[in-house]
Structure 1
Amino acid sequence: MEIDKSQILEQLRGLGKHDEAKQAESELPDKVDTDKHADLLQKFGINPQDLLGKLGGLFGR
């Protein structure tokens, strides 16, 4: 699944991970594929499955 980089940055900032958000902003593509970029997401402390669960809840509203 593809997710906008901005949503990932927002989640990192919401968790207080501002340094990781800055780094992710420069390293992640604009559209992040949760399968293809799983290693990058984990580098920033994001579990792709957790991310999908949280975003799924937002889309399900």
Structure 2
Amino acid sequence: MTISKAAVITALRQRGQHSRADFVDRELPDRIDPTRHGGLLATLHLDPSEFAEADPA
């Protein structure tokens, strides 16, 4: 399971957290691995299950 970086950025911008959205855009890959980046997602108060998608195969 991965998370679309675009979806995370959109959620942050909707909250008015533009600088955090810019950080995510610069630092994370297009497909975010919740296992690898779970700490950052928790810091941003984002629940990975809200964004999780199956890997395209």
TM-score (norm 2): 0.73
Report what 2:10 is aligned to: 10
RMSD over aligned Cα, in angstroms? 1.8
Q: Deviations over 1:22-42 (max 9, x none)?
A: 111101111001111112223
Q: Which runs of 4+ in 1 moved over 6 A?
A: none
Corresponding residue pairs, total: 52
Gaps spanning 5+ residues in structure 1: where? Answer: 57-61
Higher relative contact order (CA 8 A, sep 6+): 2
1:52 corresponds to which of 39, 43, 49: 49
Q: Percent identity?
A: 33
TM-score (norm 1): 0.69
